[in-house]
């Protein structure tokens, strides 16, 4: 074997290794986001076309995207938190349906997927439904029909298993929080907000009650407007004044959450940031009644 050929083989092996070992988490599919409350699904559709209850306590709901049933969305809810979305899957036999995922098209052959993503870590046979292609260090998988053509894409809430926890230098401080809240553009700000965000004010609880993309485009639940209204006085606070400003640490699950408390106009306000999907995100906002 000549040296040039050896170099090519080594390069290919390294390239494949990097593809397998790199981590990638996709949290959005077809306008919805993992960990959104299921009300977002219920407000988007009239009702499920099929419901499955499983022995492990999981529940899945299928919604047809057309009258013929050639395309559907399947949502799963876990036993430990049945109010939030655990997985999202788009299934289609209609090749004209756009899955809105990495430029893929339904009906493309499995070998085309191999060129884009490499060979799967695992291939799971699902009978007449074909095969499931699974990849290590990712939270998505592909469904192939009996002819080896792409017929489904699924994302699963796995970030706690695949992504490392926070490092000390990633802990949020007041300056980082101010920078986040200065992002008035909703698309950008959404990257720093948990889909499970709850806002407690005026004896009401606000949350994202509609599909994630719809919330970004139209602020349907008025979450973004409310955040900016509540926190507009944050920048005026003197965070060296310990009587009016505090930063505390609480433990939520296995990673700490950071709580920013401040008193403005005779009311205490609280902003909680939680480690989620590889970064600290605004998870809870509370305003004293």
Q: Which positions ≥6 away from 54 have C-beta within 8 Å?
A: 60
In DSSP terms, which residues pair with 143 in a beta bridge?
132, 152
Task: Label the pairing between strands 28-29 and 32-33.
Answer: antiparallel
Alpha carbon distance 236, 232 (integer Å): 8
pLDDT in tens, 9-34: 333 333 333 344 457 889 999 999 99
Final residue in a domain of this structure, among 130, 161, 192: 161
Query: Three-state SS for 272?
Result: strand
pLDDT score of 40 more than 50:
yes
What is the arrangement of strands in the sheet containing 50-53, beginning at the earlier edge strand? 50-53, 59-64, 71-77, 87-92, 150-156, 140-144, 131-134, 122-125
Q: Under a CB-based contact definition with an 8 Å cutoff, are residues 84 and 35 in contact? A: yes
pTM of the shown model: 0.88
Using the predicted structure, report yes or no on whether residue 162 has a pLDDT greater than 80. Answer: no
Q: Which domain holds residue 233?
A: 168-287
Best CA proximity match to 279, nearest among 20, 18, 25, 21: 25
Task: Verify that 107 and 12 share a domain, yes or no.
Answer: yes
Q: 101, 135, 161 — which closes off a domain?
A: 161
Query: Do residues 122 and 45 both lie within one domain?
Result: yes
pLDDT at 164: 73
- Co-location of 133 and 176 in the same domain: no
Give the CATH number of the domain where residue 218 resides.
3.10.450
Decide if pLDDT at 7 tops 50.
Answer: no
Q: What is the pLDDT of residues 66-124, one digit of tens each?
A: 988 899 999 999 999 999 999 999 999 999 999 999 999 999 999 999 999 999 999 99
Is there a single domain that holds both residue 105 and residue 222? no
**156 and 206, same domain (yes or no):** no
Which of 127, 145, 161 delimits the end of a domain? Answer: 161
Domains of the chain: total: 2
The answer to whether residues 132 and 44 belong to one domain is yes
Same domain, yes or no: 187 and 84: no
Q: Is residue 117 within 8 Å of residue 125, measured between CB atoms? A: no
Query: 59-64 and 28-29: which strand pairing?
Result: unpaired
Same domain, 156 and 176: no
């Amino acid at each position: 074997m000549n040296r040039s050929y050896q170099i090519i083989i080594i390069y290919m092996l390294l390239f494949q290794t990097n593809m397998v070992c790199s981590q990638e988490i996709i949290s959005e599919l077809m306008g919805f986001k993992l960990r959104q409350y299921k009300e977002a699904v219920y407000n988007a559709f009239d009702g499920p076309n099929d419901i499955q209850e499983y022995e492990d306590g999981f529940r899945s709901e299928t919604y047809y995207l057309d009258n013929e049933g050639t395309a559907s969305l399947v949502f799963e809810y876990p036993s430990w938190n049945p109010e939030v979305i655990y997985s999202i899957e788009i299934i289609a036999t209609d090749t004209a349906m756009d899955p809105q995922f990495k430029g893929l098209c339904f009906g493309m052959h499995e070998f085309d997927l191999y060129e884009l993503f490499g060979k799967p870590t695992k291939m799971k046979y699902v009978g007449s439904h074909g095969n499931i292609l699974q990849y290590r260090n990712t939270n998505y998988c592909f469904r192939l029909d009996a002819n080896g053509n792409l017929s489904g894409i699924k994302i699963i809430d796995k970030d706690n298993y695949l992504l490392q926890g926070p490092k000390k230098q990633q802990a949020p401080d007041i300056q980082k929080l101010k920078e986040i809240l200065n992002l008035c553009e909703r698309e950008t700000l959404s990257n720093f907000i948990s889909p499970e965000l709850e806002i407690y004010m005026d004896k009401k609880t606000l949350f994202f009650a509609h599909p994630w993309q719809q919330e970004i485009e139209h602020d349907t639940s008025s979450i973004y407007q409310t955040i900016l209204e509540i926190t507009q006085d944050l920048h005026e606070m003197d965070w060296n004044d310990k009587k009016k400003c505090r930063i505390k640490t609480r433990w939520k699950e296995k990673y700490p959450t950071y709580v920013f408390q401040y008193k403005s106009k005779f009311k205490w306000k609280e902003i909680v940031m939680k480690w989620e999907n590889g970064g600290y995100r605004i998870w809870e906002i509370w305003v004293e009644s």
